Amino acid sequence: MTINRWTRRAALLLASLAALLSGCTTYVTTQVTAFSDWSGNDATRTYAFTRAADQQNNLELSTYERVVANELATHAFRQVDAAQARYLVGLSYGIRSDMVTVSQPVYYNPWPAPYWGRPFDPWGPWGPYGPFPNAYVNQSYPIFTHLLGVRITERATGKEVYNVTARNSGAESSLVRAMPYLARSALADFPLGNGIVHTVKIPLDKNGAASNEMAATGAAPAAMPAPSSAPKVVQ
């Protein structure tokens, strides 16, 4: 059956709406895995960031360190010069892109035209029993996986005392925008026990606030606004 003009418009509208809804969410959900031999207390939580030799002048890493420093401060960590620090904190991070394919219905109108609209046609363009699914089409969308690792070692001995990894996925193509959520999730409920795996859900900012001042506030551009409230941990 030939799809008429109204049906084509409706099909395009439905497809657009489905794509829009698939990208909307109330929470940023992050998977967190921690390995721990933590025995420190508040009085000894002094730290400095450590870097590999080829990262000394890395501006991207400096930006992420400031985001993580904001979260460490909420757990009584105090950043000092490396010579005075009890702990060294190292970061690892990355982003990977994949394609996901979703099957979506295409609808047809069993009562094509003319459509006069209400009050002349009380059932509308689909008739009293429509619309009817005619077929399914595959739509492909990009999905991005963001990763942050935080490793804490004792400066004096080199012993690893805490290693946590946070990972989330979604339509956000920027690691910069995802980083505040990764950092807050990674350090939620610090310190976690050894071998703990859990899910952290952080509400999106309902006001859609946007800011590039990540160093001061942990905020992010509008596509993924900064965390606006405490994370919810799902064991």
Give the DSSP letter of residue 148.
E
Cβ pair 99, 118 in contact under 8 A: no
Domains of the chain (ranges; CATH) run 27-101+141-234 (3.30.160.150)
- Percent of the chain scored above 70 by pLDDT? 64
Does a cis peptide bond (omega within 30 degrees of 0) precede residue 119? yes
What stretch of H or E contains 8?
helix 5-22
pTM: 0.67
Q: Which of 233, 180, 229 is nearest to 207 (CA)?
A: 229
pLDDT tens for 90-114 read 999 999 988 777 777 776 555 555 5
pLDDT tens for 17-54 read 343 334 455 889 999 999 999 988 778 899 999 999 88
